[in-house]
Chains A and B, each alone.
Chain A
């Protein structure tokens, strides 16, 4: 693994930490990483403890499983329990609790719930079961939405009318805007998401510097990527610049994946508003099927309750998703709420901040503090 070592080189990490320390000076900086994958790297490698104390990272809403509100899970279960339906879902969504249990429990009660890796697998199940309706639980940001779009185009082409999509796709820009509008949090910039940017590119983030005066740097997933992106954010502050920059040029192109953006527009339109866990209703933040695809729209085919369900009182996923509190500051973290018995969504998904911290952060915190001090001293 010669290649990987280049992204993990401790000497390079020390150089970057020294640069970050110099650039930050004695000012306090707070940056948000939007993407759950970044949160994972930060905890896995103890990056928070390598950084000088005046450079703080807060975790954002970039985990598509975590932001699905409880009411939508209840809607999914209602569709799954409709007689005759085969309900298909990504594994991540199976254990997400609604007000009325989760999909695995619905399966135990007798619903035909099946795990799929790809929407194309759901379409194949529909072709193999022409006398049953097969519903695909579509979730995710622009990373997965084009796949659902292509699958719908394929279903239309092949006249597979027993295939339906329960669409919960969300878009990445509105929650960033909602966080910038939130009075709870003062941020000095963003680490832009990695893989979602392969689709949307860097253009949609221009409003962050232009309208809100905050820099944004799209970052990769290796520890050195994160450190370099932080240094780039600080350099912008020091040099009086404020712009969108791309640290992850080896994967992300400025214009994104043009073909993927085209199919999104062909198949989906924006919902007037959509509820996000912790962030509330955000206008034009989610996708629904265009009227041309009404035949494949599960929300039109079934009676979906559409009831808004408040999060459990003890759960503070909302504050975690907005970066207002850290996972371990939640009252039920690691006690009533664990990956085995999650109360909130952030503990269910491996990309959720609470699960990442539970699995890695806790164990590594002490070690990382020591390492971090060693790195700073050595530099």
Chain B
């Protein structure tokens, strides 16, 4: 819960409600990107973000995304559960 999942933004689906589709390890779901929108550099399709409980909380670069993905994958079953929930509930 406290560890973010790194995902790449695939599509902005509802700009008014700040919703976008993000992909984490091939699994996609809708996430809220509202917390990154008044940032100096707004997020857009193709960007990598750190996702906590369905909300993008920080913009990250691809290098960081890959390293944190690797870290979370090492959590094993915890990561599998998290990813399954991430996909199912979208």
Chain A residues within CB distance 8 Å of chain B: 1, 3-4, 6-7, 35-37, 40-41, 44, 62-65, 90-92, 115-121, 139-141, 143-144, 146-147, 150, 195-196, 198-199, 221-222, 250-252, 257-260, 263, 350-351
Contact = CB atoms under 8 A, between A and B. Distances in A.
Given A117-B89, A121-B89, A251-B58, A198 B50 contact: yes
Contacts of B61: 250
Contacts of A143: 1-2, 4, 52, 57
A257 B57 contact: yes
Nearest to B4: A195
Q: Which 9 A-B pairs have the closest CB atoms?
A: A118-B54, A117-B85, A198-B58, A350-B78, A147-B55, A117-B89, A121-B89, A3-B66, A3-B63
21 contacts: A3-B66, A92-B1, A116-B89, A117-B53, A117-B54, A117-B85, A118-B53, A118-B55, A119-B54, A120-B54, A140-B1, A141-B2, A143-B2, A143-B52, A150-B34, A150-B35, A195-B52, A259-B34, A259-B37, A259-B39, A263-B35
Nearest to B61: A250
A221 B68 contact: yes
Interface of B: 1-4, 32, 34-39, 50, 52-55, 57-58, 60-64, 66-68, 70-71, 74-75, 78, 81-82, 85-86, 88-89
Nearest to A139: B1
Contact of A144 (B39, B52, B64): B52
A158 to B, nearest CB: 10
Contact of B58 (A1, A6, A115, A257): A257
Nearest to A118: B54
B74 A117 contact: no
Nearest to A261: B35
B57 A260 contact: yes
Contacts of A251: 50, 58, 60, 64
A196 B71 CA distance: 17
Nearest to B85: A117
A44 B74 contact: yes
Given A195-B52, A196-B2, 5 more contacts: A64-B1, A118-B55, A198-B57, A250-B63, A259-B37
Contacts of A263: 35
B67 A3 contact: yes
A259 B36 contact: yes
Contact of A117 (B3, B57, B88): B88
Contacts of A257: 35-36, 39, 57-58
Nearest to A221: B71
A246 to B, nearest CB: 13
A258 B38 contact: yes
A328 B65 CA distance: 33
A351 B37 CA distance: 30
A121 B35 CA distance: 18
A8 to B, nearest CB: 9
A259 B38 contact: yes
A1 B66 contact: yes
Nearest to A355: B78
A147 B1 CA distance: 12
B2 A37 contact: yes
B3 A351 contact: yes
Contacts of B86: 117
Given A4-B67, A150-B34, A263-B35, A63 B2 contact: yes
A56 B58 CA distance: 31
Contacts of A258: 38
A306 to B, nearest CB: 24
A350 B53 contact: no
